[in-house]
Amino acid sequence: MKNLLLLILVLLLGACGFHLRGSAQLPFDTIYVQGGGNQLGPDLQRYLRYGTSVKVVQTQNEAQAVLHILGEGREKRILSLTGGGRVGEFELYYRLSFRLHDGKGAELMPAQQLELKRVLSFSDAQVLAKEQEEALLYREMQNDAVQQIIRRLSVLKK
């Protein structure tokens, strides 16, 4: 009985079209990442090296495509106040703009902007923990932005 149930579950899972995402297929063989600050650039290069079939090169001249990180910014806004007039929640914003060109100036993807936001509850009694949580949320948004860039690059046509 258990074997029959297991077989049915496996067949249903296969029939629904489920499959692992695998590596992204990009329409170029080599890429150079220009800009990206202290952490974004290395994260993007690492994801391109190990999550795609593209070779990340060290100079712009040897690249078929140049991913230019135009800007990156963080913002923190008060979202709500408690009854005592203290901050109850913050809204964290992470913005990233980028473009893709072929190294000779021809644009492969025009300048685009990603904007991600998260809500951070706040408590005066846990200031240090909330600072660490804020840093973790920004790091998570940055990783999400890297994955969104890769997905946008993978839809380009050769």
Which tens digits make up the pLDDT trace of 25-61?
A: 888 899 999 987 778 889 999 999 888 889 999 998 8
Sketch the domain layout of the chain as residue ranges: 24-154
The whole-angstrom separation of Cα 141 and Cα 95 is 9
Q: State residue 90 phi and psi, 5-degree precision.
A: -115, 155
Tokens 């973790």 sit on residue: 136
The whole-angstrom separation of Cα 65 and Cα 108 is 8
Q: State residue 113 phi and psi, 5-degree precision.
A: -125, 135
The whole-angstrom separation of Cα 67 and Cα 99 is 6
Which tens digits make up the pLDDT trace of 88-108?
A: 999 999 999 999 998 787 899
Kindly report the CATH number that applies to the domain delimited by 24-154.
3.30.160.150
The whole-angstrom separation of Cα 108 and Cα 110 is 7
Please state whether the predicted TM-score (pTM) of the whole model is above 0.85: no
